[in-house]
Amino acid sequence: MTNKNTPPNHVAIIMDGNRRWAKQKDLDAVKGHEVGIKTLVSIAKNASDLKIKYLTLFSFSKENWNRPLNEVSQLMILMKTFSGEYLKDINKYNIKIKVIGDIEDLGFQQKSIISKVQEETKNNTGLLLLAAFNYSGRNDLIRAIDKILYDIDNQVIANNQLTESLVSDYLDTAFIPDPDLIIRTGGEKRLSNFLLWQCAYSEFVFYETLWPDFSDVLLKDALDQYHSRERRYGSSV
């Protein structure tokens, strides 16, 4: 078992269930996303209190662009809202934000908001909150391979230097450790193209609870489950 006095370095969460939460309450999908953002901020602050160093949240996948246009438009408005009133709360908690994903593929407005939240939190020294936006695990790997091939062509690295560690160094998460724990809300039990390379030895905890109803109590429960497990990394002892 892991040391209960030592929190996992890196927790990642697939925040699933906003739309179903809204549907259950006969509300527009955007209302579920609004409440989901409040939950996001609450969980980030709680993770900071629990001394977790890295928190990665799957906020918007590349596949999410296939949702109804009105919903996507409302999500972009909420993104701007987060960069305003909620960012003040994040700053009070000394949380630093880093956005990962295919940023170059985004429009000017999205890039501007991302630049704003990263710039305004860059000097914070507490929890590092990674927002996976326009992200997919496969795309992360493809972009890493493209960069590796470019550096091989330009003799930055040799073509016989390819190792797991080298690949990791070219991913969006190159600067942080792989997730110790991945949590998914909403009842589904799959990764949905999230951190595919990085999750090789992660522990998983799944909840039926929809993301807007996820709470500090459930986060603590997930950590308790994590601490009850023996992490062997492929060894027999």
What digits encode the pLDDT tens for the residues 165-175? 999 999 999 99
Residues 6+ apart with CB under 8 A from 181: 8, 10, 11, 12, 202, 203, 204, 205, 222, 223, 226
Q: What sign for the dihedral angle of Cα 27, 33, 38, 40?
A: positive
Question: What is d(CA 9, CA 11) in angstroms, rounded to the nearest whole number?
Answer: 7
With a cut of 60, say whether residue 236 has pLDDT above it. no
Query: What letter does residue 131 receive in the DSSP assignment?
Result: E
Q: What is the pLDDT of residues 18-40, one digit of tens each?
A: 999 999 999 999 899 999 999 99
Confidence of residue 149 (pLDDT cuts 50, 70, 90): very high
Query: What letter does residue 103 receive in the DSSP assignment?
Result: G
Residue 171, pLDDT score: 98
With a cut of 80, say whether residue 232 has pLDDT above it. no
Residue 197, pLDDT score: 98
Q: Report yes or no: 118 and 101 within 8 Å, Cβ to Cβ.
A: no
**Nearest in space to 30 (alpha carbons), one of 70, 82, 62, 83:** 70
Positions marked catalytic: 16, 64
Q: What sign for the dihedral angle of Cα 215, 220, 222, 225?
A: negative
Question: What is d(CA 165, CA 31) in angstroms, rounded to the nearest whole number?
Answer: 42
Lowest mean pLDDT among 150-164, 167-181, 192-206: 150-164
The single-letter code of the amino acid at 75 is: L
Q: What is the pLDDT of residues 74-113, one digit of tens each?
A: 888 888 878 888 899 999 999 999 999 999 999 898 999 9
Strands 54-61 and 128-135: parallel
CATH H-level superfamily of 10-136+179-227? Decaprenyl diphosphate synthase-like (3.40.1180.10)
Between the two ends of the chain, the Cα-to-Cα distance in Å is 12
